[in-house]
Amino acid sequence: MKLSRNLEENRKMMAKLFPIEKSFDLIERQVVIGGKKAVMYFIDGFVKDGVMGKIMQFFLGLTPDQLENVNTAQDFAARFVSYVEVSTESDVEKITTQYLSGPAILMIDGYEEAILIDARTYPARSTEEPEKEKVLRGSRDGFVETVVFNTALIRRRIRDPKFVAEVVNVGNRSRTDVVIAYIDDIVDKKTLEKIKKRIESIDVRSLTMSQESLAECLIKRKWYNPFPKIRYTERPDIAAANVLEGNIVILVDNDPSAMVLPSSIFDFIQEADDFYYPPVIGGYMRAVRNLIFFSTLVITPLWLLAIQNMDRLPEWLHFLQIAEPNEVPPVVQLLILEVAIDVLKLASVNTPNMLGNSLSIIGALILGDFAIQSGWFVPDTILYMSIVAICSFSQPSVELNYAFKFMRIIILVLSHFFNLTGFIIGVVLSFVLIGTNKTVTGKGYLYPIIPFNAHDFKYKFLRLKIRSTEKMH
């Protein structure tokens, strides 16, 4: 559907499309520009008042003589609209989308195109370091809820003419802006086309939960496999580094994080700190982090296995035995503590900052002295679950943490009922789920081990020195 040259017809059409009389923030301003009737539509709260005031003041000062030879909206925009971001459009559907996105719409009687003036400004917070991905050294900025700002944070780090940021609208009602960022001559074209087709084929009413809603539409997830397929980051430097490596970064408006595709399990356990320190220190930190995180899968099951088979262990390992056992089986204590730790996490999220210290004291008392004195737990179970909880914070992916947690619980239960056989079955099951999992694009989840790639293997597991060649003069 196209716009009409008749302004009144266009006004009636806009009145049918939008509840302008009912919604207080949908503004319709009728004016006369150079003797011609005109109307401007904009959303209160999305426009810069100072800029719009100057634009309107200039328009109202135009005379009929100045518009005598101006026959199209494009001519008018080129001569009289001095604002930087200006375009013309005749398609009603595109005008509707642009209007709801924030730009002001100017319609002038006799012109069959509308003039779009992008004078919008979204309510936004300042960039600050993400709480979940803090670094000891490095940049302190982070993504915000405005996709334009997030794209700028990445482009600031990649001054390459081949860097592309495509935008598509997803959601029949929300029409959320989704940006696909990549470097044109590095990205794998088949992977890019596959992801773009999936995004463009999404048919939902809205992306209510932003990136999570988009991820659920993109991923063909098997309900029994808890391991994540999409890596999230709130750090622009990590997003930029992944783009430079040939990956694809997806930004969703209203969400302060980026999606990195494709992602194997080894991408989830990388951190920015590895690259802000010299190779030896960065390599050591990466090795320690990987070791302690993967150990969280088996710490409590191994201890349970040990106390169930104490007669088979050498004497120097007898300290693992519970000194003063109670009536509650160790496996039940461990399972209760698994849930209790999650309860504390949920409570800390919903607790005001001023009450944070109180929550810490109460949690320590409940899971400490009081729990032991009441006979619910023995010190050993609290100790080992505390170690697991601390180790789980060694990497930033919440999704991967919970995947390991679910598998740890399965190994724990199998070890209790079937002893060593159950432990082996649980560990094998975990690796089968990891090995059979696929990335969003269908690649191996264990890449670069399966399929093996020697070059990528070195860079995934080792912190290698960046090599540069001297420029030829």
pLDDT in tens, 386-414: 899 988 888 888 899 999 999 999 999 99
Strand order in the sheet with 163-170: 163-170, 176-183, 248-252, 258-261, 231-233
107 contacts 38 by C-beta, under 8 angstroms: yes
Model confidence at 367, in pLDDT bands (50, 70, 90)? low
The residue behind tokens 């200039």 is 58
The residue behind tokens 């930087």 is 84
Share of the chain above pLDDT 70, in %: 96
How confident is the model at residue 468, as a pLDDT?
Answer: 55
Share of the chain above pLDDT 90, in %: 48
pLDDT digits (tens, 9 = 90+) for 7-37: 999 999 999 999 998 999 999 999 999 999 9
Averaged pLDDT, 187-202: 92
Averaged pLDDT, 216-239: 88
How confident is the model at residue 365, as a pLDDT?
Answer: 64
Is the pLDDT at 101 greater than 90? The verdict is no
Residue 199 CA: distances (Å) to CA of 192, 239, 260? 11, 19, 14
169 contacts 177 by C-beta, under 8 angstroms: yes
Averaged pLDDT, 96-125: 89
Both structure tokens of 82: 């001095």
**Nearest Cα residue to 274 out of 459, 76, 82, 45:** 459
Averaged pLDDT, 121-129: 81
Model confidence at 99, in pLDDT bands (50, 70, 90)? very high
Averaged pLDDT, 207-222: 82
pLDDT digits (tens, 9 = 90+) for 445-465: 888 888 888 877 777 777 777
How confident is the model at residue 412, as a pLDDT?
Answer: 96
Instruction: Output the CA angle 443-444-450, nearest 5 degrees.
Output: 135
How confident is the model at residue 472, as a pLDDT?
Answer: 47
For the beta carbon of residue 352, count every other beta carbon within 10 angstroms: 8
How confident is the model at residue 151, as a pLDDT?
Answer: 95
**Nearest Cα residue to 95 out of 57, 136, 42, 59:** 42
Residue 169 to residue 413: CA distance in whole angstroms: 46
Is the pLDDT at 156 greater than 60? The verdict is yes
Model confidence at 473, in pLDDT bands (50, 70, 90)? very low
For the beta carbon of residue 244, count every other beta carbon within 10 angstroms: 14
Residue 326 to residue 337: CA distance in whole angstroms: 16
The residue behind tokens 């390599």 is 283
Helix, strand, or coil here: 47?
A: strand
